[in-house]
């Protein structure tokens, strides 16, 4: 370990089970000396094993619906009180598509479901940032990260309305990141991760096949949840103070590939 986050305090959204990126990030932050509170929606807390993670990392859990500003305000107030000061890092690892869950094709969406998924997956990030900004809750040179996916830039048909949500998420990071940087010297970035076998990812049709395809396409192979946790730790650390407004591809090189020899061999 490198003690990269010694003395730093934060909030981690979205840890559900040991396969989730937020879970792995919490473990790695703890190992690097950071302290934090864990948060998720009450229903997600009941579904997951977050209590186990809290015990392992000596963290407290604060239930909060990230779509409700009042819940977020309470979360930030409690977090700063529990941790003993302003926040140095935040991970937004939240995503959900009701249309995907219900099997609705992209060309046949239920727009009530679309709006709910957008609110949870994307607008919630703006709400988190706005609460942190208004409360001046971030320390100078703090770092805020949200998790994205390359479907924000390219077509992955079965990723459905989540592609639109990720595009909005990345735009929020740039737009709000400007004000956070200008006013408070705080960084805001998104990490565009490889397809990862989390509970949310596995709800996408053909997900396992696409992981296999991506593994053959990326020269370094897919980045795992633990790989992403390590990258997030680096982005939380003081080593990346001048990185902001970026969508950072963390995908083994997949995003710059046209085709690989391994994929070509599948058609020979």
Q: Which residues are catalytic?
A: 149, 159
Q: Look-up: residue for tokens 């990260």?
A: 145
Q: Do the Cβ atoms of 24 and 225 come closer than 8 Å? A: yes
Asked whether residue 14 is marked as a ligand-binding residue, the answer is: yes
Alpha-carbon distance 249 to 253, whole Å?
Answer: 8
**Which of 231, 265, 234 is CA-nearest to residue 250?**
231
DSSP, residue by residue, 234-258: HHHSGGGTT--S-EEEESTTGGG-S
For residue 14, give the 3-state DSSP assignment: coil
Asked whether residue 33 is marked as a ligand-binding residue, the answer is: no
For residue 60, give the 3-state DSSP assignment: strand
CB atoms within 10 A of CB 164: 20
Positive or negative CA dihedral for 94, 85, 37, 145?
A: positive
Alpha-carbon distance 196 to 64, whole Å?
Answer: 25
Asked whether residue 20 is marked as a ligand-binding residue, the answer is: yes
- Residues within the annotated binding site for NAD(+)? 14, 20-21, 94, 166
């Amino acid at each position: 370990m490198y003690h990269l986050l010694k003395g730093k305090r934060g909030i981690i959204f979205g840890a559900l089970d040991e396969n989730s990126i937020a879970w792995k990030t919490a473990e790695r932050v703890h190992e690097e000396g950071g302290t934090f509170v864990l948060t998720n929606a009450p229903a997600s807390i009941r579904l997951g094993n977050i209590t186990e993670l809290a015990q392992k990392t000596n963290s407290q859990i604060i239930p909060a619906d990230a779509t409700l500003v009042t819940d977020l305000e309470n979360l930030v107030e409690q977090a700063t009180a529990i941790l003993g000061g302003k926040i140095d890092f935040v991970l937004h690892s939240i995503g959900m598509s009701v249309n995907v869950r219900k099997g609705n094709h992209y060309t046949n969406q239920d727009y009530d479901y679309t709006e709910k998924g957008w609110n949870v997956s994307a607008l919630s990030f703006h709400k988190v940032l706005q609460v942190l900004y208004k409360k001046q809750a971030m320390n100078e040179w703090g770092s805020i990260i949200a998790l994205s996916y390359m479907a924000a830039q390219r077509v992955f048909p079965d990723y459905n309305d989540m592609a639109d949500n990720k595009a909005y998420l990345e735009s929020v990071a740039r737009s709000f990141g400007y004000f956070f940087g200008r006013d408070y010297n705080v960084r805001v970035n998104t990490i565009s991760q490889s397809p990862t076998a989390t509970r949310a990812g596995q709800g996408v049709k053909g997900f396992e096949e696409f992981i296999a395809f991506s593994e053959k396409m990326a020269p370094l192979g897919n980045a795992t949840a633990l790989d992403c946790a390590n990258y997030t730790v680096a982005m939380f650390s003081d080593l990346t103070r001048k990185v902001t407004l970026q969508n950072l591809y963390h995908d083994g090189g997949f995003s710059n590939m046209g085709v690989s020899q391994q994929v070509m061999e599948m058609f020979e």
